[in-house]
A and B are shown apart, each in its own frame.
Chain A
Amino acid sequence: MIPAGFSYVRAGSVEEALDELSRHGGAARPLAGGHSLLPAMKLRRAEPGVLVDIGRLRELSYVRADGDRIAVGALTSHRTLERDPVVAAQVPLLAAAARRIGDPQVRNRGTIGGSLAHADPAADLAGAVLALDGVLVARGPAGVREIPAREFFTGRCRNALAPGELLTEIRLPAAPGRSYAFEKFSRRALDWAVVGVAAQARPGGGVAIALIGMGPTPVRATAVEEALAAGEPAAEAARLAAWGCEPPDDAVASASYRTHLAEVLVTRALAAL
């Protein structure tokens, strides 16, 4: 399978990437690790006229402790998240999610910015960033803005970025020593989650919980969070896992099976905390 023709520009800096994106308007797409975009282009589900390759922007590949926040550059690979000592110490939930993505080859190429921008409802890092109350930093022709993870995912494979905007950084509250769990159920020969759960204990009690694969976007399991905050036992609270969700009913799993999985996986995540 060969992608449709396009022209290729390799950006040497973030400024250059932004210039190229605005110069070509809607025809241009950024290319990061290419592990969502290139498969889609090979299937001709995406036919961008111009690819702006941001894959070599070292300036966007970093993990930094910045006061009580951890800043992760958008071009940081899944593989780096898996191994980075700052991630391991400060936001281990992110490492746990990264480790479960696909296979080593995919993790070598894929980036956190690409995964979030692609906005697949079953993306592992999307679940982790949502549970961690991450903030996404976007840079575009109109300047820099921050988008809370809760507002970033606007639909199946849709995000809140404006045309010509690049995701440059993900900011996460540091959570050293906080207990966390990442539970994912996938079919044996498929790495993507049918359903997954990212959870982290909150500092003052209670738990932040995000679900993947349970609707058009990753979502917070608000009903479970509230029940736990109100002192309900975990088993009771977990029953509310799919509350408000519209799980897909497709060839991978029925909506009712996904609903069942959500409850089971939330139960396991709470037990692991």
Chain B
Amino acid sequence: MRVEITVNGQAHSREIEPRLLLVHFLRDTLSLTGTHVGCDTSSCGACTVLLDGEAVKSCTVLAAQADGLAVTTVEGLAGEDGLSPVQEGFRQCHGLQCGFCTPGMVMAATALLAENPDPTEQEIRGGLKGNMCRCTGYQMIVESVQWAAANGGAK
């Protein structure tokens, strides 16, 4: 089947198998490997992208379900003037160690701040509940999101 999916503002039309998962469309078909696969069982959130602005786990969405819609991946966040506030927050506050969970964390945090520009610590933890990190113990991730909220938000 043919799908037309806009990724980070650029339209892509491709012939795919219906069973192709969105995460594989991004990583294998478009070579956008910023989106990671951690668990492949809908649990870890490393594969989180925005689908028409909503955070979704792209390992649990068919590329066919994204046909005609707009996807934002971590590659689409930085603008002409550099990193997005969320990305910059992770850099400023040391919100990562190995970096494996980071693309998903950054996308989930971006979705959270788009909806709730001034979240409490509890709201940040709730907003990132679907994202797991094996390294940081989460505290510095929460601080990174707080930094972003105070410095431009979702962008």
Contact = CB atoms under 8 A, between A and B. Distances in A.
Interface of A: 1-8, 10, 31, 34-35, 38-39, 42, 51, 53, 55, 79, 102-106, 108-109, 189, 191
B62 interface: yes
A109 to B, nearest CB: 6
Contacts of B132: 189
B54 interface: yes
B17 interface: yes
In this complex, the interface size class of chain B, counting residues with CB under 8 Å from chain A, is 20 to 34
B112 A5 contact: no
B64 interface: yes
Identify which of B41, B55, B131 gathers the most chain A CB atoms within 10 Å of its CB: B55
A10 B66 CA distance: 11
Given A34-B61, A109-B56, A103 B18 contact: no
Contacts of B112: 104
A103 B129 contact: yes
B34 interface: no
A104 B127 contact: yes
A6 B19 contact: yes
Given A3-B19, A39-B60, A108-B56, A103 B130 contact: yes
Contacts of B21: 2
Given A8-B62, A34-B62, A35-B42, A105 B17 contact: no
B48 A8 contact: no
Identify which of A38, A42, A51, A103 gathers the most chain B CB atoms within 10 Å of its CB: A103
Nearest to B126: A104
Given A8-B62, A35-B60, A109-B60, A104 B55 contact: yes
Contacts of B65: 31, 34, 53, 55
A104 B57 CA distance: 10
Interface of B: 1, 17-19, 21, 40-42, 45, 48, 54-57, 60-62, 64-65, 67, 108, 111-112, 126-127, 129-132
A214 to B, nearest CB: 24
A103 B54 CA distance: 13
B133 to A, nearest CB: 12
Identify which of A2, A31, A191 gathers the most chain B CB atoms within 10 Å of its CB: A2
Contacts of A108: 54-56
Given A2-B19, A5-B19, A35-B42, A105 B62 contact: no
A7 B19 CA distance: 8
Contact of B41 (A4, A8, A39, A55): A39
A103 B48 CA distance: 12
Nearest to A106: B130
27 contacts: A1-B41, A2-B19, A3-B19, A8-B1, A8-B62, A8-B64, A10-B64, A35-B42, A35-B60, A38-B42, A38-B60, A38-B61, A39-B42, A39-B60, A102-B130, A103-B129, A103-B131, A104-B127, A104-B130, A105-B56, A105-B108, A106-B42, A106-B130, A108-B56, A109-B56, A109-B61, A191-B129
B111 A104 contact: yes
A109 B130 CA distance: 13
Nearest to B60: A38
Contacts of B60: 34-35, 38-39, 109
A68 to B, nearest CB: 33
A53 B68 CA distance: 14
B25 to A, nearest CB: 12
A104 B105 CA distance: 12
Nearest to B58: A105
Contacts of A103: 45, 129-131
B19 A105 contact: no
Contacts of B19: 2-6
B18 A6 contact: yes
Identify which of B1, B42, B127, B132 gathers the most chain A CB atoms within 10 Å of its CB: B42
